[in-house]
Amino acid sequence: MPTLHLIDADSTQACPAVLDIIRRRIQLSHNPDDRLLLLGGGPLVKDALAVGIHHARRLTVPFNNPRLARAIRPWAKHQKPFEHIRCWSPGVLLLAVDHWPDTPKELMLVHRPTDKQIAKVKWALTRRNTGPIQINTLTDVIRNHLDLAGVRARVDPALTPTREDAAKPQPSQADLRNGWGACDPSHRVVALLSDHAFLVDATQAAAITSLAGASLADGNGKPQTITLVVHPDQLNRQRAQRFLADQSVGHRVVQDTRMRCPWLILQGCDAALALGQDAGGLSLRWALGMGLPTITSTEGPGGEAGGLASDKVQLVLSPSNAHKDLAHALQGVLTGEGCRGDEIVDSREPGQIQTATITP
């Protein structure tokens, strides 16, 4: 029997990285009757097409509320009975409970839910005469967050991109770097990871880039410049561009719309930054899956990345969110001193770098 996948455009999980997971799950099921229902506006359809989903149904949603999508009733009547429903946002879980109360459901969470969203999950779990509901999360941090709120969940390793997923066709490193104007051998390229550009402040990344690049030089003493790659809609992007331009040392910010599909740009980067509450989300997992050294903080969810389901990962854990600590970690990576081979570098002790090879 088929599986139904539901996702709504108003959710923070409505991004190419999540849609790519859905595409992969539908592909692996080999069931032609599996369905994907997109609830919301055109951008969600555009993202679905970008990851290779060409057979999804879109329904409009009044007032950004999936439960008001009345067109779902006549659509559901023409479908075969679903054996399973995967909900990719808390909002659509309520819709699934309304329309398919007896069908087993899974809620897939790759971002930390808000208190309001947790309240919706609790309502669905306590509703009478409904089938089983399993909550799956990307990380232990999200699972523990739900546990503190009284919601049981489990970590689902299948939500993490694998080495095989990272092997999909990508632009060449030379083409990417030429497009960014970073073709000089002394140039270093750093990606700012985020599943949604509006969640991560580009000025923080610019400040870290400036501090890290202050003492960078090649073997001949020639100063090395850093290019920070962000999405055009990145929070405070223009401010970050002005900040680095005012440094007059060559560091700069370039924008690339392909940042929403991290597997398309990471091949051209030397390192990545994962900042903010969600610490890069699935984009962080793509970077690690592709073997790209990534800098994040032990104070945020990025500290959980050491347990990812990949052969080996490269992660640099800074002792705090302070710019100088993150900049020190980035500088170590760019000079080749911070990450050697497939290692996790833990620099929690001031002035001391401890290394450990992680093989899950």
- Give per-residue pLDDT as tens, 235-265: 999 999 999 888 767 788 999 999 989 989 9
The architecture in CATH of the region 3-159 reads: 3-Layer(aba) Sandwich (3.40)
pLDDT band of residue 312 (cuts 50, 70, 90) is very low
Average pLDDT, the chain: 80
pLDDT beyond 80 at 347 = no
What is the pLDDT at residue 356? 28
CB-based contact 324:208 (threshold 8 Å): no
Q: Where are the beta strands (DSSP E) in 60-169?
A: 84-87, 105-109, 133-137, 154-155
CB-based contact 16:51 (threshold 8 Å): yes
Domain ranges of the chain: 3-159, 164-356
Q: What angle do CA 338, 343, 345 make, to 5 degrees?
A: 45
Domain 164-356: assigned CATH number:
3.40.50.2000
What is the pLDDT at residue 222? 62
Report how far apart, in Å, the C-alpha atoms of 58 and of each of 25, 39, 61, 313, 338 are: 19, 6, 10, 37, 47
Greater pLDDT, 147 or 296: 147
Can you spell out the DSSP letters for 147-158? Answer: HHTT---EE-GG
- The model's pTM is 0.81
Q: Which span out of 12-26, 167-181, 265-279 was modeled with the highest average pLDDT?
A: 12-26
